[in-house]
Amino acid sequence: MTVSSKVKQTLAGLKSVQATLKVYEIQSQDEETKKAYLDAIETTDGIVIDLEGRIQTLEYEEPQYKGL
């Protein structure tokens, strides 16, 4: 498995976690719990942005990994 495919796999997993956090946040009744979920979503948003940037860099530096 290439570095590019591992980073893409990690990104897909993280987006799945974000989706789950969003569902839990919507279903939560407690405001403190909702805030905790929103904080986690915000944190993962930053990581997603970083990983997407890393993927772009990998694809630019190694064009053979583009689209994999």
pLDDT tens per residue across span 7-24: 999 999 999 999 999 999
- The full set of domain ranges for the chain reads 3-65
pLDDT tens per residue across span 45-68: 999 999 999 999 988 887 776 665
Hey, what are 36's tokens?
Answer: 């905790």
Measured distance CA(14)–CA(2) in Å, rounded: 18
| pLDDT value of position 1 | 73
